């Protein structure tokens, strides 16, 4: 793989609802939700298709990566407020674009409501 191709991908460690952790890869620029869904992990329904209107792509982000994430919008914050599974590391994976800085990020898929 060329250096440019390596820089164009990101690696995620995703714990699914069964508690199993998988290491997956995806393209930088796609949302973490898109990467998770395209990897074959079906625990994120993404009912709204990534439009930040349903919270069905809720994940818990490892605290070590929290400072690297984009600022949460008010819409995302409001949607997460409706979740019984919200925690300090809660984010909507559709609102996090994959970047080289996030390679190796650890996520746990939140239970669905």
The predicted-structure confidence for 73-105, as pLDDT tens digits, reads as follows 999 999 999 999 999 999 999 999 999 999 999
Mean of pLDDT values over 21-38? 97
Sign, Cα dihedral of 43, 6, 100, 48: negative
CATH number for the domain harbouring residue 66: 3.10.20.30
Whole-number Å distance between alpha carbons of 90 and 85: 8
Q: What's CA 80's distance to the chain center, in Å?
A: 14
Judged against a pLDDT cut of 70, whether residue 1 lies above it is answered with no
H or E stretch covering 74: helix 74-81
Instruction: Indicate the average pLDDT of the chain.
Output: 94
User: What pLDDT does residue 2 have?
Assistant: 52
Count of other CB atoms within 10 angstroms of residue 37: 21
100: containing domain: 3-109
pTM exceeds 0.85: yes
Judged against a pLDDT cut of 60, whether residue 11 lies above it is answered with yes
**Strand residue runs (E) in the chain:** 9-15, 21-27, 58-61, 90-92, 105-109
Domains in the chain, number: 1
**Which residue in the block uniquely carries the two structure tokens 């995620």?**
12
Integer-rounded Cα Rg, in Å, for the chain is: 13
Judged against a pLDDT cut of 70, whether residue 69 lies above it is answered with yes
Mean of pLDDT values over 16-29? 97
């Amino acid at each position: 793989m060329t250096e440019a191709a390596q820089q164009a991908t990101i690696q995620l460690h995703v714990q699914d609802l069964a508690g199993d952790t998988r290491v997956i890869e995806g393209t930088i620029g796609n949302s973490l939700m898109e990467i998770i869904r395209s990897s074959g992990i079906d625990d994120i329904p993404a009912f709204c298709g990534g439009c930040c209107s349903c919270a069905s792509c809720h994940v818990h982000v490892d605290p070590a990566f929290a400072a690297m994430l984009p600022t949460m919008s008010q819409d995302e914050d409001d949607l997460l407020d409706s979740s019984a599974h919200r925690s300090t590391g809660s984010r909507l994976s559709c609102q996090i674009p994959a970047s080289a800085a996030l390679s190796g990020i650890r996520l746990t898929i939140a239970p669905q409501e």
